[in-house]
Amino acid sequence: MKSIALIGAGFSGLGMAYALKKEILEFDHYEKNPALGGNWRYGVYETVHIISSKKTTSFQEYPMPSSYPDFPSSGQMLAYLESYADTFHLKENIQFDSDIIDISPHGERWILTFSGGEKKIYEFVIIANGHHWDPKYPDIKGSFDGEIIHSKDYKNPEILKNKRVLVIGGGNSALDIAVEAARFSISSHISMKSGRWIIPKSIFGIPSIEFLQPWIPDPLLRQLVQNLVLLEIGSFEKYGLQNPDYTVLDKHPTINSLFLYYLQHGRIVPHKNIESVRGNTFTFVDGSQYEADLLVCGTGFHMSFPMLQSLDLRYSSRGIPELINGLFPRKYKNLILFGGVGQPRYGAGPVISAAAGLVAKLLPIQKEIQLSLGELFFRMGQNPLESEVIDPFTTMRRAEALGKMTGFLPFLDQVLRMPFLEGLYKHRENDIMKKFNLPAPQKNYPETNRKANSAFTNSYK
Ligand SMILES: Cc1cc2nc3c(=O)[nH]c(=O)nc-3n(C[C@H](O)[C@H](O)[C@H](O)COP(=O)(O)OP(=O)(O)OC[C@H]3O[C@@H](n4cnc5c(N)ncnc54)[C@H](O)[C@@H]3O)c2cc1C
């Protein structure tokens, strides 16, 4: 048996598998589904096209084919991942239909329990279980007599036909589904609790995401994106939307051109927050009302690691686990949560390539040092993620810098364990507790509101 277990064969897991192979590290690769591709095979709706462009979404080591359009479809994304796995001979190493339900410490090793009851022990575990699968539902006062789905359950426009549809949310899935409803349903309304920066998919014919360039300083970049958006579309109030109350790029970007088009054609009607629902009638905070047959919750996802129930992973009040650089828990050695937290405001591929390359270089180092990689990086001044939105360029630069200094890490491990430095870490610890509003260590990941119907109790914030 090999000493590394890699869990998940989606975009992240495949990128990680490539990096492990490149470093000639042997590993067992597990996937709970019968085929690879994760979200791009099982998660997304049939009609989805990426919002990041092919250029910014490809793995660094494997560009998408030149025949692909700027915004490939879900089918093309899946074909790309299949082709990546074939090219680098990753598929033959994947054990499909292998669902890991528990991972618990076993000394400095890990014991994995599979859904069939089998157990296996590994020295290292890398979890790439994704973060678009555990739906978040809104809390809404009242009760709704119609049908409720989450954007995750939306597969094709059939479900929209002959219905009055209300979509909740301001992210990419919510806007995409509101657009589909504008084309296929009786009526399409959307409730957005606050204003969002909605970035057109292309500006001057160039995919908008490609305006994000590593050489532009962040404040200038924000100003540039903000000006381009306002130049292209004007004020959001013109479309009946609220103006955003945050700086562009502070949240995961919402990228959509057709949404604004259908708003201007009256095919999508925007609303503010929902006040309550009774029967089929939704009342919004401004007193307006809408009768709906179908409610689509485009309200996002929880970051969940159900197989880690027995661990003391701390979560911030925003539900983000305390992982240094979004990868390494401080308390545990030999455990890496890869790609399950953090969303790059960019395409996934380049960030996965950079992070996977770093992780593969660090695994042998972890064997040589006493501190966990998370604790070592914490003592070196690195932080847990404050928000799920990741700046892709900072992440890639940091991965490159840390990758270059792997040779020094055993020395730093010795220095940073010296007792006279303890006070410094206490100070940083308190700082982080305050900043992240971290509760006392908790055993389980936060209780999530998984049942749609239980959503209709409190007010929807
Ligand atoms: C509607 C939509 C549009 C998107 N658009 C874009 C875009 O334009 N650009 C972009 O870059 N990204 C986009 N994304 C994000 C997308 O999720 C990522 O591109 C990518 O799929 C993330 O890959 P992943 O491997 O981290 O997660 P996933 O694709 O979810 O893969 C996780 C894998 O882990 C497996 N797994 C989970 N738990 C276990 C377990 N216990 N045991 C064994 N296996 C397990 C799952 O079966 C799955 O195969 C979009 C997402 C959605 C939902």
The answer to whether residues 333 and 248 belong to one domain is no
- Output the domain CATH number for residue 272: 3.50.50.60
**Measured on CA atoms in the order 357, 336, 330, 326, is the torsion positive or negative?**
positive
In DSSP notation, 124-151 reads: EEEE---SSSEE-----SEEE-SEEEEG
The better pLDDT of the pair 423, 329 is held by 329
pLDDT in tens, 200-242: 999 999 999 999 999 999 899 999 999 999 998 999 999 999 9
Asked if residue 417 and residue 358 are part of one domain, the reply reads no
Ligand 1 test: best mutation among 129, 134, 309, 327, most atoms within 8 Å of CB?
129
Q: How many percent of the chain have pLDDT more than 70?
A: 94
Atom 33, ligand 1: which residue's CA is nearest?
8
Reported confidence tier of residue 315, pLDDT bands at 50, 70, 90: confident
Q: Is 43 in the pocket of ligand 1 (CB under 6 A)?
A: yes
Torsion of CA 269, 272, 275, 280, to 10 degrees: 10
The mean of the pLDDT values for the chain is 91
- 155 shares its domain with 293: yes
- In the block, tokens 């455990």 appear at 335
Task: List the domain range (segments joined by +) for residue 129.
Answer: 4-133+302-404
Q: Which among 271, 297, 323 is the end of a domain?
A: 297
Both tokens assigned to 250: 């502070």
Residues 283 and 309 in one domain: no
The alpha carbon of 352 and the centre of ligand 1 are apart by a number of angstroms equal to: 12
pLDDT in tens, 102-145: 999 998 899 999 999 999 999 999 999 999 999 999 999 999 99
Residues 290, 332 within the same domain: no
User: Does residue 457 carry a pLDDT above 80?
Assistant: no
Residues 125 and 160 in one domain: no
pLDDT classification of 438: cutoffs 50, 70, 90: low
55, containing H or E segment: helix 54-57
Q: Which helix H or strand E contains 291, and what residues bound it? A: strand 289-291
- Does 391 or 7 have the greater pLDDT score? 7
The answer to whether residue 342 scores a pLDDT higher than 80 is no
DSSP string, 335-368: EEE-SSS-EESS-HHHHHHHHHHHHHHHHHHHHH
- For residue 80, what pLDDT is reported? 98
Q: Rounded to whole angstroms, how far apart are CA atoms 251 and 263?
A: 22
Identify any residues that bridge with 147 across adjacent strands, giving them in sequence order: 294
Q: Which among 338, 333, 334 has a CA at the least distance from the CA of 321?
A: 338
- Residue 48 CB neighbours (<10 A): 21
Mutate to test the pocket of ligand 1, among 7, 11, 301 (most ligand atoms within 8 A of CB): 11
* Lowest mean pLDDT across 213-227, 368-382, 445-459: 445-459
450 confidence band (pLDDT: 50, 70, 90): very low
pLDDT, tens digit (0-9, with 9 covering 90-100), for 54-70: 999 999 999 999 999 99
Do 368 and 275 have their domain in common? no
Based on the fold, state whether residues 361 and 244 are members of the same structural domain: no
Kind and range of the H or E element at 221?
Answer: helix 218-233
Q: Are residues 186 and 118 in the same domain?
A: no
Cβ 14 under 6 angstroms from ligand 1: no
Dist. CA 129 → ligand 1 center (Å): 7
Please say which residue of 297, 317, 336 terminates a domain: 297
For the cut 90, the answer to whether the pLDDT of residue 281 exceeds it is yes
- What pLDDT, on a 0 to 100 scale, did the predictor assign at position 344? 83
pTM value is: 0.93
Say yes or no: CB of residue 33 within 6 Å of ligand 1.
yes
In the sheet with 274-279, reading across from the earlier edge strand, the strands are 142-144, 274-279, 281-284, 289-291
pLDDT computed for residue 452 by the predictor: 38
> 């390359």: which residue's tokens?
357
Based on the fold, state whether residues 359 and 244 are members of the same structural domain: no
Could you tell me if the CB of 166 is within 6 A of ligand 1? Answer: no
Instruction: Name, in order, each residue with C-beta under 8 angstroms of 214's C-beta and a sequence gap of 6 or more.
Output: 393, 396, 397
Q: Encode burial over 285-310: b for 16+ CB neighbours within 10 A, e otherwise.
A: eeeeebebbbbbbbbbbbbbbebbee
As given in the structure block, the two tokens for residue 296 are 């689509």
**Structure-block tokens of residue 409:** 């890490």
Average pLDDT over residues 184-206: 95
Question: pLDDT: is 115 or 395 the higher one?
Answer: 115
Work out the pLDDT band at 454, boundaries 50, 70, 90.
very low
Residue 445 has pLDDT above 50, yes or no: no
* DSSP-derived 3-state class of residue 268: strand
User: 316 versus 440: which is more confidently predicted?
Assistant: 316
Mean pLDDT computed over 408-434: 89
Q: What is the mean pLDDT of residues 25-42?
A: 97
Domain stop point among 266, 282, 297: 297
Residues 415 and 380 in one domain: no
Q: Are residues 232 and 161 in the same domain?
A: yes
Percent of the chain with pLDDT over 90: 79
For 337-352, what is the mean pLDDT? 87
- In angstroms, the CA 271 to CA 285 distance is 9
Q: Is the CB of 169 under 6 A from ligand 1?
A: no
Domains of the chain: total: 3
Whether the per-residue pLDDT at 451 is higher than 70: the answer is no
Mean per-residue pLDDT, 434-444? 55
CA distances from 12 to 25, 70, 156 (A): 17, 21, 25
Pairing relationship of beta strands 164-168 and 294-297 according to DSSP bridges = parallel
Distance CA 9, CA 17 (A): 8
State the virtual CA torsion across 391, 397, 399, 401 in degrees, nearest 10.
Answer: -150
On the 0-12 / 13-18 / 19+ scale of CB atoms within 10 A, 124 is buried
